[in-house]
Amino acid sequence: LRKQDPRSFSVFERAVERAISHIQPSLPPTFVARFHDEAAVRRMQYRRLGQTEMIVSKISFGSAPISGMFGNVDDSITQIVEAALRNGINFIDTAYWYGHARSESILGKVLSKIPRKAYYISTKLDYARTFDFRADKVLESLMNSLKRLKLTYVDICFIQIHDADFAPQQSIILYETLQALEMARDSGKIRYIGLTGYELRKLASIIDCSAVKIDVVLTYCHGSMNDNSLGNFTYLLQKKNIGVLNGSPLSMGLLTERGPPPWHPAADFIKEACLAATHYCISKKVSISKLALSYAFEVPGTASCVVGMDNLQQVRDNIALATATSPLTDVEQRVRDRIMRRYFDRLENAGWGGVDVVTYWKRLKKLGLTALATHRHSSVESLSSTLNGLSIRSSSNSSDLRTARRARHF
């Protein structure tokens, strides 16, 4: 994986990307006259996702929260999803693991009342046994997802690449999983094949070795204020014409006033830096989540930012931020610059890939999360991805994980 300092993106490159993103020569292919609010759709920015035919909105709808994974959903889920789609969001991301099929099942009911042309949708494979990549299980998983979603096809089917014992799985992924998805693509059950996961190097390894065309990558927690290492990865993906989706801009709750959930695998020093930055924002009467979202929307080389939403006000606020000409006030911009310099630059993109799994499971038991701690065949990345939906509901807890970090600003 070639390293590229995110600072190396020139002022000219960033200016060109912003200028292009603001040019709206026509309405997106997903526009439906009697369904959409045309004025809202015209305010939204849309970008082509790699070499696909998908022209996706700047912000995408992450559906993990509507499954109830992080607490009760107070507003009508139908109203939440419809509000997002009517006002310009045209991409929905779901997965079996979001509430163990609950997200897919809910969307199946809600989307049955919405024109299929009005949205793109992706899902991720589930497995009879955790991360069973065999071809027959892959196709069975896909058909089950389509049944729950009440759809004849999905636009993208993602393979989740984050098992701790990665090396033995790689050959199965290359010679069974991807081959099975290519069959599904040829038969019209999916339009595009995607990879998703936390470890960027694992994704790069699959991409480099695959004989099957990978169309899209969804990665999370690497295009955020505390870790922008995605900037190094987009160079590789752009060379291969692979579309990039930026997930978890709030770093699974680190960049929120509520803080991360107890199972969050980040090291103490990462949590402490994020907590200090949050306190500084509070002292200035600024929302750190708003700063984090605005930052994630600007990551060069990404087509869309996937944001979990579970109430109408979140939908309205997030769309307003994504479509604003000047999303931050002068005060907010100064605060964001300050916390980047004071707290996040010194982290040097530290993450939690490759942590000690046994120690992590013991820590979960101490936190009282016995049910989670029994699944020892899963990796740290597996659990965090399974529970990932931009949770903003729990408080910070201890961990002592450390990995190397790299450069910061765009």
Active site residue 153: no
Cβ neighbourhood burial of 275 (10 Å; 0-12, 13-18, 19+): middle
CB distance 150 to 108 below 8 Å? yes
Gap between the Cα atoms of 128 and 105, Å rounded: 18
Tokens at residue 186, please? Answer: 């040829």
Query: Whose CA is closest to 297, among 274, 253, 327, 331?
Result: 327
Task: Tell me which of 96, 98, 120, 198 is the catalytic residue.
Answer: 98
Query: Whose CA is closest to 291, among 243, 245, 343?
Result: 343
Gap between the Cα atoms of 135 and 231, Å rounded: 33
User: For 170, phi and psi rounded to 5 degrees?
Assistant: -60, -45
Query: Taking the CA of residue 54 as centre, how many other CA atoms within 13 Å lie in the half-sphere pointing to its CB?
Result: 31
CB distance 196 to 158 below 8 Å? yes
Strands 55-57 and 46-48: antiparallel
DSSP structure string for 309-370: --SHHHHHHHHHHHH-SS-S-HHHHHHHHHHIIIIIGGGTT---TT--HHHHHHHHHHTT-H
Gap between the Cα atoms of 274 and 343, Å rounded: 7
Q: Point out the residues that are catalytic.
A: 98
